[in-house]
Amino acid sequence: MKKDNFNYYIKRDSNKYEVIIGLEVHAQVLSNSKLFSSSPTKFGAEPNTQVNLVDAAFPGMLPVINEFCIKQAIKTGIGLKAQINRKSVFDRKNYFYADLPQGYQISQYKYPIVGEGKIILDMPYGQKEIGIERLHLEQDAGKSIHDIDPKHTLVDLNRSGVALMEIVSKPDLRSPDEVNVYIKKLRSIMRYLGTCDGNMQEGSLRADVNISVRAEGSKEFGTRCEIKNVNSIKFMQLAINYEANRQVDLLEDGKKIDQETRLYDTKKNQTRSMRSKEDAHDYRYFPDPDLLPLELKENFIEKINLEIPELPDEKKKRFIDKYNLSPYEANILVADKETSEYFEEVIKKSDIKLATNWITGELFALLNKKNLEITQSPISPQNLSKLINLIQNGTISGKIAKTVFELMIDSDKDPKIIVEDKGLKQESDPKELEKIVLKIIATNKDKVEQYKSGKEKLFGFFVGQVMKLSEGKANPKLANDILKKKLSK
């Protein structure tokens, strides 16, 4: 297969611009309680029901670090092949807002818990490494709701204090496609690790997108703009495309790009200025005196290391080496942890090649159509495995198998039982098949003549007739042999 070439440039006449993208992903830590308090973190609870005195910043309340969230951040760092910093510091980021009860957000500024790492992307033009700058822990804010009461803004503090990981990439991304693959790969790694559910609809994963453009071949970065808080991959891609074109247009007109923070308007598919660099907040970061620097012991990290499961890249390599899959097939099967587990369950007792085809073909199509996760698959891996074996040992043909598969959707019945109940077993008795073949020859004398006089294409017609009369149950290979023999007489 010929490899595609990278081809995302913004073109104007003879000028070609390269787009430079860096992402700050905010991933909600999968944890039952908040970063510095014991309040629950369940999504969709009644407003202000998951708030305690610490989250609402009552006088004299103090943050106490949640060890589980620390472990989750370290796990994620290990998944990103990153440096785990033995000492990190929690800082206060000071600003006023109604949904920020403390008047500051506890975050990590100079000394994050995780340092440099990387993510490997499989692009149509080959593998690409994206650098990770850092990962740090911080608190989420509450939510201001402006559209319920005509006169007042309402505040919901359920999210206040929920642990987030901010994962900052290096400016290594070059196209909306790479952003798509990057987010999916990052999400896949975190789901393997169980550190973030990656649910974008629920806001568990959102990103600030930094974009700049430069003439192709230039080594200098252009002035960047940051698009805040984009909450779907599609919107990220649209926003990047819009913003890159906007910047190129400015440059083409001989204008300067202002470094600023912008918002993406999903309805108009536009980005617009939120605040310029001059208006940027002065957050007055300083180490939070309520929290001591976080110092990690070697054995603490080692213990976490032992809990790290096989990750997508390693699993992919194993699938290729052990199961002889193509990199393409392996990629599809490992992208989602549950899919890879389903696959390995199916091939415990059935043919790998057939299993790969059936999972990536029929099963994926079914799940797609019904909008289901693989964990909700109406067909269990055990039964799919049995179906594949029925094909493998010649009990049914591939075509009949599709019929059986359809019947399995509603009941997830054992395919053997379906085959028996519905009489779908393949006809492999030569005598029975011969009867059918002779009947066809007898009723299509003209076609037989034509065939014999050289019109060999008609062979397909005869096969079709055999299948039709046998209601699809004829063993195709055997039917072919018999047909050939009888027609050559």
Which CB atom, from 88 or from 350, has the smaller least distance to other proteins?
88
Identify residues 404-443 at the interface with other proteins (CB under 8 A). Answer: none
Label the pairing between strands 286-287 and 91-94: antiparallel
Which CB atom, from 35 or from 240, has the smaller least distance to other proteins?
35
Place of tokens 């060890």: 67
Nearest approach in angstroms of CB 153 to other proteins is 7
Nearest approach in angstroms of CB 102 to other proteins is 5
Which CB atom, from 150 or from 289, has the smaller least distance to other proteins?
289
178 and 193 Cβ atoms separated by less than 8 Å? no
Q: Could you give the CA distance from residue 132 to residue 134 in angstroms, rounded to a whole number?
A: 6
Nearest approach in angstroms of CB 295 to other proteins is 13
Nearest approach in angstroms of CB 101 to other proteins is 6
Binding piece for other proteins, criterion CB under 8 A, among 123-131, 217-225, 290-298, 352-360: 290-298
Which CB atom, from 65 or from 123, has the smaller least distance to other proteins?
65
Nearest approach in angstroms of CB 114 to other proteins is 21
Nearest approach in angstroms of CB 283 to other proteins is 8
Which CB atom, from 280 or from 372, has the smaller least distance to other proteins?
280
Instruction: Mark residues 448-477: x for contact with other proteins by CB under 8 A, - for none.
Output: ------------------------------
Nearest approach in angstroms of CB 198 to other proteins is 30
Which CB atom, from 110 or from 399, has the smaller least distance to other proteins?
110
**Which two three-digit tokens encode residue 212?**
């700049």
Q: Could you say which of 19, 23, 155, 196 contacts other proteins (CB under 8 A)?
A: 155
Identify residues 291-330 at the interface with other proteins (CB under 8 A). Answer: 291-292
**Residues in the chain, total:** 489
Label the pairing between strands 225-230 and 260-265: parallel
Per residue, what are the HEC states of the chain? CCCCCCCCEEEECCEEEEEEEEEEEEEECCCCECCCCCCECCCCCCCCCCCCCCCCCCCCCCCCCCHHHHHHHHHHHHHCCCCECCEECCEEEECCCCCCCCCEEEECCCCCCECCEEEEEEECCEEEEEEEEEEEEEECCCEEECCCCCCCCEEECCCCCCEEEEEEECCCECCHHHHHHHHHHHHHHHHHHCCCCCCCCCCCEEEEEEEEEEECCCCCCCCCEEEEEECCHHHHHHHHHHHHHHHHHHHHCCCCCCCEEEEEECCCCEEEEEEECCCCCCCCCEECCCCCCEECCHHHHHHHHHCCCCCHHHHHHHHHHHHCCCHHHHHHHHCCHHHHHHHHHHCCCCCHHHHHHHHHHHHHHHHHHHCCCHHHCCCCHHHHHHHHHHHHCCCCCHHHHHHHHHHHHHHCCCHHHHHHHCCCCCECCHHHHHHHHHHHHHHCHHHHHHHHCCCHHHHHHHHHHHHHHCCCCECHHHHHHHHHHHHCC
Nearest approach in angstroms of CB 65 to other proteins is 7
Which CB atom, from 56 or from 379, has the smaller least distance to other proteins?
56
Q: Could you give the CA distance from residue 470 to residue 116 in angstroms, rounded to a whole number?
A: 64
Instruction: Mark residues 87-116: x for contact with other proteins by CB under 8 A, - for none.
Output: -----x-x-xxx--xxxx------------
Nearest approach in angstroms of CB 149 to other proteins is 14
Instruction: Mark residues 36-75: x for contact with other proteins by CB under 8 A, - for none.
Output: -----------------x--xxxxxxxxxx----------
Identify residues 335-354 at the interface with other proteins (CB under 8 A). Answer: none
Which CB atom, from 13 or from 282, has the smaller least distance to other proteins?
282
Which CB atom, from 250 or from 291, has the smaller least distance to other proteins?
291
Which CB atom, from 292 or from 372, has the smaller least distance to other proteins?
292
Nearest approach in angstroms of CB 48 to other proteins is 11
Which CB atom, from 120 or from 292, has the smaller least distance to other proteins?
292
| Amino acid type, 350 | S
Determine, following the binding rule CB under 8 A, whether residue 150 of this chain makes contact with other proteins: no
Q: Could you give the CA distance from residue 393 to residue 429 in angstroms, rounded to a whole number?
A: 15
Nearest approach in angstroms of CB 290 to other proteins is 5
Identify residues 258-287 at the interface with other proteins (CB under 8 A). Answer: 282, 284-286
Determine, following the binding rule CB under 8 A, whether residue 446 of this chain makes contact with other proteins: no
Which CB atom, from 65 or from 308, has the smaller least distance to other proteins?
65
Nearest approach in angstroms of CB 352 to other proteins is 53
List residues binding other proteins (CB under 8 A): 53, 56-65, 92, 94, 96-98, 101-104, 153, 155, 282, 284-286, 289-292
